[in-house]
Structure 1
Amino acid sequence: MNINIPFHRIASATDQIETMRGGAHGDPTVRFEDMIARAAVPFEDRLDAELIHAARTHSDPARREHALYQYLERNNVLALPEIRRALMEDEDTDLRVNLLWALEWLPSEECSTLCRALMDDRDHRLREWARVFAWEKGWTDHDFRIKRPFKHYAGRTFDQTIYLHIVCRMYVRLTESNDKWGMLLVSPQMLKRVFGQALACNNMSTRDDQVVVAKNLPGLNADGSPHHESFLFRGFTELTDPLQGNFYFETQTKRPIFLSGKANDASQGVVPDVTVPFAREGQWFLNEHLDVKGRKAIEYVRGLFRGWSYVNLARIEASRGDFFFPGNSILSTLHHPEVGQKTNGFITGRFKGKVVDWDGDDVIDLNYLPAYATVNGEVDSNLDGIADARGQHVSFVPR
């Protein structure tokens, strides 16, 4: 049986049903995101040769990575030679980590060979991630959770601030009749550029039922000031395994909705204090050797997310189709009388995060990265643990 599953989908119920024709059984119900993926037309229209050229020559690592993700999306295992080249030759750490992640989704034995080879790479962050991916795919018998030195900074707002690698698909409704949809695959570094770098922030005493996702988005404000956003998620974690937690969290955060479709651009008006929902679920894995405040620290987290967005297509068309600039497209909701009418995007994606050595001293850092948020998910621009303004989850510089 020949099964050719696109790299962004991992053995969904739809895939299983399709491969069981002739003897299918069970409930054929499918997920919305699986069905819309078949109907949506990719916005990426560059030729393969153009994607390869960008992947090899562009000076911007985010653009190189994005081109590789588009090429991989289109060509599946046939893209492996180009992916291998980038993994071995590119100098950007995030690009290499994110391509290594993509190997998990390709049905080829070469992925195992490549990943295991990179377990001894020159880059310590890539080594860390190669060991994670090899472990979770069963390409090695060695657990990545080993005993080693680690550092926890006392007195900081959060016990852990975990850098998240995120890939997403944005499905955009193109007609009021719902019969035309577009799809934008956003690679991790490009998502970071548009939406900001996200950190998963937790404290040992409360992590089972709440987590803050804090984001920092440089390049948005004309005056060079930083832009911060944060979201308090609440939910449940199943803890029957002492070294693994399975969680489901939701946020309903109030934020301004900019009708221009770009964060902090009030040129077309602002709707204040709109409650925006978002959901995330997944798993975290503890290292029994990382002990903080009487609990084991998270070494690795992985999961899924979904929510709504507002994409100003007219604005993008006016900018010659460029989507990838800071603040473009904003999280939104269907449950607001004005904003709901503009909400035209469905976002679904995956995230992975791991504690690593950030300052080059061969010691794992648990809460080294600054998270500009309070424990309640409010903006805290000076990291003193106190909100800049009570109830403010987004820093707003009018333009």
Structure 2
Amino acid sequence: MAIDLCNKSPGALAEHHPGRWDAAVQDPKALEDLATEQKDALNFAYRTTLSNVDPRFVAGDPAAWASDFGYALDRVAIRLDNRSNDQLREQAFQHPDPAMREQALFEYADRDHEDAVALLAEAARTDQDRQVRWDALWAIEKLGGPTAIAALGEFLTDDDPEIAEWAKLFISELQTGDPAFDGRSGLYTPDRTFDETIFLLIHCDLYVRLDPSNTHWGKISLAPQGLARIYGQAHACPNVATREKQLVIAKTIDGLHQDGSPHCDNYLFRGFTDRTRRDRGNFFFESLVPRTFFKSGQADDPSQGVRQANIGFARYGTWHLEPRFQVREEAAIRYVRGRFQGWGYVDLSRIAGKSLEEVLVPGNGVLSTLHDPEVGPMTNAFILGTFKGKLNDWDGDGTIDLNSRDVYSTVDGEIDMDQDGVADRPGLTCCDHTALMP
């Protein structure tokens, strides 16, 4: 949450007068394509937000802008990542684990330091892990402002076409609110379960209630690879015929099962989509799925007992169509972005006094619900964040792949390990831990 409120903290405001937005741009040529009206609007927005302790109030009624529970928690929660700034800067480049390097980058950016954009740009420039690079670009977009636009411009001609397209997309969003894409062609593979399998980047904040008084809260901010390691890498899986009313989010967690098989965790979402514009859809979807709740707080660990419960989650946002990519005589979804929220349970004994390497392990945290007599009282985490996903070229042949990713789900969210479209066991939407027990 804090990373999305960049340059707006009271501390940052006290350090310097905002001045003009264009004075903050190191390379003014990077913004030459802005029209005069756009420059005036950006200058007004920049000065307005930086001249108020709480920039959200400038929009009007605080009932609309100050009622965000996550925003309220972000202002009072203590950071459970207690690494120093120097440690974060070092680990962002020196840690051998890409997920840990990325986690350090996002934590540093979330602290809203003046050199955060420069640090992220250096990581995007030098890191050898492709996802660290494009996730670092996303963090730059989250920080926003003219300095971010200038930094992203460096990557428009990157040798990796995905890095270049992400940079183009983020710059366009910052300048116009809408994404932009390159001109590569797309490839649709027929006879697969889903028309599209969109790899999602997810940035998540967990606000953990530290005691029953409701006056002490902790915050864990998870970068995309760290979140995927704990909760699973997610793919949005729409079909053209039903995408306006339902889709599957298919997740896999690697390293959880001792036999090396992926842990599959699928969620069928349903909701409404606004299609008043032909080039996009604005959606609000909810999911309610049966799950085994592990009272240990560790997925697949029944040592402290289990409970069958219905777990709810909400996601909402916008998808953008690409008319050049046709699936069943309809334009394919090229890009999706939005927010999500739900509840979770974190066993504090599993993270207290532990290094981040010991915390960011597969399954170390479970989704939860308030609407169960046993699970509800254990629920102690409010989960919310943002997601983005676009179609990529995964095999390096220069063509965008629409539905080549392996996802283990039927159209109704049931487990389908051989991807033949038929449920392995009707009604089962998550791996059965009892089948893996000795």
Normalising to structure 1: TM-score of the pair?
0.92
In the alignment, which residue of structure 2 is the partner of 1:307? 342
Give how far 1:17 is off.
8.7
In the alignment, which residue of structure 1 is the partner of 2:88? 51
Question: Separation in 1 of the partners of 2:350 and 2:164?
Answer: 42
Give how far 1:31 is off.
1.4
Q: Does structure 2 retain, via aligned residues, the 8 Å contact 1:210–1:249?
A: yes
In the alignment, which residue of structure 2 is the partner of 1:200? 236
How many positions carry a matched residue from both structures?
Answer: 390
Give how far 1:316 is off.
2.7
In the alignment, which residue of structure 1 is the partner of 2:425? 389
Paired letter, 1:326: P
Question: Separation in 2 of the partners of 1:105 and 1:206?
Answer: 31
Paired letter, 1:8: D
Q: What is the aligned counterpart of 1:76 among 93, 113, 123?
A: 113
Q: Does structure 1 retain, via aligned residues, the 8 Å contact 2:3–2:112?
A: no
Q: Check 1:269–1:319 CA distance in 2 against 1; reply closer, same or farther (3 A cut).
A: farther
In the alignment, which residue of structure 2 is the partner of 1:238? 274
Question: Separation in 2 of the partners of 1:225 and 1:24?
Answer: 49
Matched, 1:281 2:277: no
Matched, 1:355 2:391: yes
SS of the equivalent of 2:93 reads helix
Q: Which has the higher contact order (CA 8 A, sep 6+)?
A: 1
Question: Separation in 1 of the partners of 2:184 and 2:153?
Answer: 21
Paired letter, 1:116: G
In the alignment, which residue of structure 2 is the partner of 1:137? 174
Question: Separation in 1 of the partners of 2:387 and 2:297?
Answer: 24
In the alignment, which residue of structure 1 is the partner of 2:136? 99
Matched, 1:38 2:75: yes
Matched, 1:124 2:120: no
Compare 282-291 and 132-141 and name the one that shifted more: 132-141
Q: Check 1:161–1:20 CA distance in 2 against 1; reply closer, same or farther (3 A cut).
A: closer
Question: Separation in 2 of the partners of 1:207 and 1:20?
Answer: 33
In the alignment, which residue of structure 2 is the partner of 1:191? 227
Q: Does structure 1 retain, via aligned residues, the 8 Å contact 2:321–2:333?
A: yes
Give how far 1:6 is off.
3.9
Q: Check 1:382–1:18 CA distance in 2 against 1; reply closer, same or farther (3 A cut).
A: same
Matched, 1:18 2:60: no
In the alignment, which residue of structure 2 is the partner of 1:298? 333
Q: Does structure 2 retain, via aligned residues, the 8 Å contact 1:145–1:287?
A: no
Paired letter, 1:85: E
Question: Separation in 1 of the partners of 2:86 and 2:143?
Answer: 21
In the alignment, which residue of structure 2 is the partner of 1:372? 408
In the alignment, which residue of structure 1 is the partner of 2:3? 7
After TM superposition, list the pairs within 5 Å mapping 1:56-71 onto structure 2.
56-71=93-108
Give how far 1:105 is off.
2.4
Paired letter, 1:54: Q
Q: Does structure 2 retain, via aligned residues, the 8 Å contact 1:304–1:349?
A: yes
**Identity %, equivalent residues:** 41
Normalising to structure 2: TM-score of the pair?
0.84
Consecutive unaligned residues of structure 1, counting only runs of 5 or more, are none
Q: Does structure 1 retain, via aligned residues, the 8 Å contact 2:195–2:237?
A: yes
Compare 88-97 and 321-330 and name the one that shifted more: 321-330
Give how far 1:123 is off.
1.2
Consecutive unaligned residues of structure 2, counting only runs of 5 or more, are 9-48
In the alignment, which residue of structure 1 is the partner of 2:201? 165
Question: Separation in 2 of the partners of 1:305 and 1:124?
Answer: 28
Q: Check 1:242–1:320 CA distance in 2 against 1; reply closer, same or farther (3 A cut).
A: closer
Q: Check 1:318–1:366 CA distance in 2 against 1; reply closer, same or farther (3 A cut).
A: same
Q: Deviations over 1:23-68 (max 9, x none)?
A: 9953445211111111111101011111111111111110001011
Question: Separation in 2 of the partners of 1:127 and 1:249?
Answer: 31
